[in-house]
Amino acid sequence: MQLCIFLIITVLLIVKPTINAIFLSQLGPEHLPYGYLLVAIVAVLTSYFYNKAIQRFSLIKVTVSTLIFFSLGFLIFSALLQFSMINDWILYVYYLGVSLFAVIATSQFWILANMVYNSREAKRLFGFIGAGAIAGGVFGGYLTSIVVSAFGNETVMLLAAVLILCCIPILQKVWKLRLKVMNTYIRNQRKFNETSNSETSLKIISKSKHLTYLALITGISVVVAKLVDFQFSDFANKAIDNPEELAAFFGFWFSTFNVLALLLQLFFTNRVLSKLGVSSTLLILPLGIAMGSLLFLTFPELWVLILIKGIDGSFKQSVNKAAFELSIMPIPLNIKNQAKSFIDVVVDSIATGLSGFMLIFLIRKLALDTTYITVIILFFVFIWILLIYKLREAYYNSFRKNIESTILKNDDAENDRRKPETTLTAARRILNGNNEQAILTLLDRLNNYKLKSLKSTIVKLLNHPSNKVKTAAIKQLYMYDDATEIDRITKLIHQKDDELVYAALDYILYHSNSETQFFETYLNHENDYIANAALLCLAKDTANNEELASKFELNNRITKKINAISGAEVDTRESHITDLLIAVAYTEMPIHYNFIENHLKSHNTNIKSHAIEAAGITKDPQFLDPLFSCLSEKEFRKKAIKALKNYGPGITTTILDMDKSQVLKAKNKRFVPKIIEAFKTQNAVNILMRLMKSRDFIIRMEASRSLLKLSNKNKKLVFNARLLKNLILKEAKHYRQALVTKNILNQLINVDTSTESETVNVPEITEARSAIVEILEEQMETSLRTIFKLLTIIYDEADISIAYSGLLSNVEDARVNALEFLDNLLKGQLKFKLIPLLEHFLAEDDSSKNKFIKSKILDEKTGLTVLIKNRGKRTKLAVLALIRIQNDQRFVPLVKSLKNHKNIEVRYAAKQTLEKLNRVEIV
C-alpha cells in the first residue's frame, strides 16, 4: 500500500509541474481561472459515468482501467511534445486530465485503504502509508527537476506513463491478499452497490451532517488551496520568464514542501493526532494559512507566498491528510465508499470551478491586484474553522450511531407516538385503575407531597378491595391537616389486618383532641388487632414522653406481652410478634432488646424483616453486626440498608473503620456503599470518594456505582472532577499491576507444567499460583467496570454507556469503533493511561499485550510484594498460601510486615507462614 501511493504521488509530481509550467508559459496565468471552471464541469460529468462504472464493476477493475487510461494519455502527450504538436485546446485537455488524475487516483487509493483497515488500524498505519505518499512527492518533484533539465518535458511524461502502470500489479496483489483475510468484504461490497443503486451520492451526503460538514470542509479547503496556488503561480510567473526554469522552480519547491511534509509525517503526525484528536488536528492547516495570509498583507512578496504555499503543501499532505482520512472512518463502509468518491472528485472539482469563477470576476471584471485575493482567503479560512468545530460533534455522533447499529436492536417506537400525558392526569389514571402494584408505587412516591388536587381521588381508595391500598391511602391522607375523613377511617379499625388497623389508629391519634381518651378507648380493647395497634401507637408517642409512658405503664404492658409470647403453648399470631417488635424498638428500653435480637435469627421472613426494622429504630450498637450480616440476604437487603441508615451519618465512620480493618465479610461488603448512598447528601458523596481508596476491589466498584446513582438523581451534589480523574488513574494502575503479575505467574505456571520434575511441591505451587491468577482476573474485570462507572460521572452517560457496550461486544467492528470513540472523547492523562489499557483489553496477539505491560515488575517476588502491599484480605491470604508452599526465605521480611495486620485472618495466616519459614531455616 505504501509503495502504491508512493508511485501515484511520484507520477502526480511529475505531470503536474510539467503541465502547469507549459500551460502558464503558453497561455499565461490569466487562463488558470478558465481551467478551474472547466475542471468543475468535466468532473461532474466524469463522476456520473464513474458511479455507473463502480455500480457495475468491482473497485479493482475500475481502478485498473482508470490507471491504464491515464497512462495512455501521458504517453500520447509525450509524443505530441516530441513532434511539437501542442496547441491551446490540447493544453486545456491535459490540464483537465492532470487535475482529474490528482483527485481520482488518490481517491481510489484511499477508498481501498478504508476497506482494508478499520479505524484503529488506520490510526496506527495511515501515517506510515502517508509517508509513502509524501516520499513520492519528494522523489517526483526532484526527479522532474533533474529529468526536465537533462532530457526535456517529453521524456518526463514518458516516464510518468510507465510508472503509473507499475501500480496495477501492486493493487492486484493487495486486493488478492486482503480478500483471503477479510471474509466480510464481499458482503460490504454488495451493500455498497445496493446503496449506490438506491440513492444518489448527493442525497446520501445531504442526509448526514457528518458527510455534509466533510464535503463543505473539502470544498472550502480546495477553494483556499486554489487561491493560494494562483497567487503563488502568478508571482512566480512574473519573476521567472523561461518555461523550463519555471518548471524547475515549481519542481524544486513542490519537492521541498514534500520534504517538510515527510518530516512532519514521520515525527509529528501520530503524536499530534494522539494528543489533540482528529477534530483539533484539522484546525492546524487553516490556522497556519491564516497567519501566513496576515503576514502577506504586511509583506506582499514572493517569499511570503512560498511560506503560505509551503504550509498548505506540507501540512495538507501530512497532518491534515491523516486527520481527514480518519474523520471519515466512523461512516459505515457501504455509505463511505460512494460518498468519499463524490467528495474527492465532484466536490473537489466544483470547488476548483468556484475558485476559477471568483478569479475571473476579480481579476478580469474588477481588475483587482492579486494581492487582494488574500482578504478572500482569510474569509474562507474563517468559515473553514467554523465548519471544523461543527464537524466535531457530528464525528462523535457518527461513532455513537455506528456502535449502536452494530450492537443494539431498534426499540419499538410505538410509545413515542403516544400522546404524552400530564403528571396529574397520569396520576389520576393510575389511582382510578385496577393495578394494585401501580397504585402502591405511586402512593409511595407521593408520600412526601401534599397534592390537594389528588385528595378526592385518594379518599376513594378507602373503598378499594385491597387492604394494602387502603393502608397506603390512609398514610397519604395523614399528610393533610384536616380530619374530614376520620369517621370513614374509624370504621376500618375493625378489619383483621394489623397494618391497616395500625395506620387507621395512627391517623385517629394524630387528629384526636385527647391522647388520654384515645389510649383509654383502645389499649384494652377486646379486639386483639386494635389493642396491639394501640400499644404500638403508645410506644411511638411516648418515645420522648416518659410521663405518658409511666401513666399507661408501658414497660409492664410490653413485659406481659413478651412473656405471653414466650410462654405460649400454641403458635402466636405472626402479626402480633411483628407489632410487638416495633413497639419494643420505640420504647427505647434496652431491657427488652433481647426480644429483637432473638427474632433477628428467625426463619420467618416477615418476622425477621420487622426485627431488622426494629433494630434500626433503636440505633443500638449491639445490632450493627447482625444488620451488616443481613445485607447478603436479598430479601432483607433493603430493610437492612434502611435500618443502618437510621443510625445517622455516624454509621459512615463505622464503615470506613471496618473497611480499613478489612473485617467486612466477602458476601456483605459489596452492599456497604448502598448504605452511604441512601443518605443522598454531599457528605455521602465525600465518604464514597474516601471509600474509593479502599484496597478492596468490590467495595471500590460498588462505591463507584453509588456515586454514579447519586450524580444522576441529584444534580445539586458536587463531584470533584480532578479527584475523580485521579481515582480513575489509580484504578488503571491497579489494573496494570494485576496484568503484569498475572502474566509473570502464567509464565511460571507454563514452565512448571512443562517441567518433568518429580518435586512434590510443583503441583501445589502451580495450584497456588493459579488461584492468585484467578483472583487477579476477577480484579481486572472489576477495575474496568469501576473505571467506566467513574467516567460516566465525568462525561456524558450515553457516550460512556455505548462505548462500554461496544467494548464488550462480540462484534469486532463495534469494539474497534468504541475504542476509537473513546480515543477522541478522553483527554489528557485519562487518554494516555486508559487507551493503552483498553487496547490490551481488546488485543488478541501477545505482541500488543507485551507492549502495554512494560513495568518495573520483572519477577515473581516483586509482583507478590506489590499484591501484599496494595491488595485486600483475599489476595493477601492467597499470596501467603503460595509463600508457605514455596518455603522461600526471601519473603520473611514481607510476611513479618503482616504480623500486626488489623484483620485477624491475615494475622493468623502470616503467623502460620512465618512458623513454616522459620522451621525450614532451622533445618
**What pLDDT digit, counting tens, does each position of 840-895 carry?**
777 644 444 444 445 555 688 888 888 888 888 889 999 999 988 888 788 888 88
pLDDT at 334 over 60: yes
pLDDT at 725 over 90: yes
CB 450 within 8 A of CB 438: no
pLDDT for 719 equals 92
Question: Residue 326, Cα to own-chain centre: how many angstroms?
Answer: 18
Q: At what angle do helices 873-886 and 904-922 cross, to 10 degrees?
A: 10
CB 786 within 8 A of CB 704: yes
CA distances from 38 to 80, 128, 343, 437, 576 (A): 22, 35, 18, 74, 97
Amino acid identity at 85: M
pLDDT at 289 over 80: yes
Closest CA to 663 of 640, 696, 693, 631: 696
Q: What is the mean pLDDT of residues 316-332?
A: 77
CA distances from 902 to 663, 872, 905 (A): 8, 12, 9
Largest CA distance in the chain: 129
Phi/psi at 536 (5° precision): -65, -40
Helices (H) and strands (E) in the chain, counts: 49, 0
> Which of 32-46, 339-353, 406-420, 755-769 is most confident?
339-353
Listed range (419-433, 600-614, 646-660, 728-742) with the worst mean pLDDT = 419-433
Q: Sort 343 into a burial class: Cβ within 10 Å, 0-12 / 13-18 / 19+.
A: buried
Listed range (122-131, 492-501, 562-571, 787-796) with the worst mean pLDDT = 562-571
Closest CA to 277 of 820, 792, 816, 817: 820
Give alpha helix (H) positions in 588-695. Answer: 593-599, 605-618, 624-630, 634-645, 650-661, 666-669, 672-677, 682-691
Listed range (22-31, 588-597, 804-813) with the worst mean pLDDT = 22-31
**What pLDDT digit, counting tens, does each position of 548-571 carry?**
778 887 888 888 888 877 765 455
CB burial readout 866-885, b (16+ within 10 A) else e = bbbeebbbbbbbbbbbbbbb
Helical (H) or strand (E) element with 880? helix 873-886
Question: Model confidence at 291, in pLDDT bands (50, 70, 90)?
Answer: very high
Q: Which residue has the higher pLDDT, 523 or 636?
A: 636
Taking phi first (over 0 means left), then psi (-120 to 50 degrees means alpha), and beta for anything else, what does residue 796 get? beta
Neighbours of 196 (CB within 10 A): 21
Q: What is the mean pLDDT of residues 222-244?
A: 80
**CA pair distance 472, 212, nearest whole angstrom:** 57
CB 72 within 8 A of CB 161: yes
Q: Which residue has the higher pLDDT, 411 or 278?
A: 278
**What pLDDT digit, counting tens, does each position of 168-190 carry?**
999 888 888 875 555 444 444 43
pLDDT at 139 over 50: yes
pLDDT for 187 equals 43
pLDDT for 788 equals 93
pLDDT for 858 equals 65
With a CB cutoff of 8 Å and minimum separation 6, the contacts of 385 are 283, 286, 287, 290
| Residue 875 grid coordinates | 489476595
DSSP 53: H
Amino acid identity at 761: N
**CA pair distance 685, 173, nearest whole angstrom:** 60
> Which of 22-26, 246-250, 884-888 is most confident?
884-888
With a CB cutoff of 8 Å and minimum separation 6, the contacts of 602 are 608, 611
pLDDT for 190 equals 39
**What pLDDT digit, counting tens, does each position of 451-503 carry?**
677 788 888 888 888 888 888 888 888 777 666 778 788 888 888 777 888 88
Closest CA to 168 of 11, 349, 14, 325: 11
pLDDT at 366 over 70: no
Listed range (369-373, 554-558, 767-771) with the worst mean pLDDT = 369-373
Q: Residue written as cell 409470647?
A: 565
pLDDT for 848 equals 41
3-state helix, strand, coil in the chain (%, to 5): 80, 0, 20
Q: How many residues does the chain have?
A: 923
Helical (H) or strand (E) element with 763? helix 761-794
Q: What is the mean pLDDT of residues 321-326?
A: 78
Question: Model confidence at 25, in pLDDT bands (50, 70, 90)?
Answer: confident
**What pLDDT digit, counting tens, does each position of 898-917 carry?**
888 888 888 899 898 888 88
pLDDT at 98 over 80: yes
Q: Residue written as cell 484546525?
A: 283
**CA pair distance 614, 605, nearest whole angstrom:** 14
CB 302 within 8 A of CB 231: no
pLDDT for 792 equals 92
> Which of 3-17, 252-266, 550-564 is most confident?
3-17
Closest CA to 326 of 281, 390, 286: 281
Neighbours of 753 (CB within 10 A): 10
pLDDT for 87 equals 79
Instruction: Please give the full DSSP string across 481-512, using - where no structure is assigned.
Output: S--TTHHHHHGGGGSS-HHHHHHHHHHHHHT-
**CA pair distance 907, 274, nearest whole angstrom:** 48
CB 807 within 8 A of CB 842: yes
CB burial readout 216-231, b (16+ within 10 A) else e = bbbbbbbbbbbbbbbb
pLDDT for 849 equals 44
Helical (H) or strand (E) element with 448? none
Q: What is the mean pLDDT of residues 298-327?
A: 82
CB 458 within 8 A of CB 432: no
DSSP 24: H
CB 39 within 8 A of CB 348: no
CB 616 within 8 A of CB 644: yes
Question: Residue 825, Cα to own-chain centre: how many angstroms?
Answer: 7
CB 751 within 8 A of CB 745: no
**CA pair distance 198, 597, nearest whole angstrom:** 75
Share of the chain above pLDDT 70, in %: 86
**What pLDDT digit, counting tens, does each position of 26-67 carry?**
777 667 667 767 777 777 777 767 767 766 777 788 889 889
pLDDT at 196 over 50: no
Question: Model confidence at 192, in pLDDT bands (50, 70, 90)?
Answer: very low
pLDDT for 491 equals 81
Question: Residue 37, Cα to own-chain centre: how many angstroms?
Answer: 45
Average pLDDT of the residues of the chain: 80
Amino acid identity at 443: L
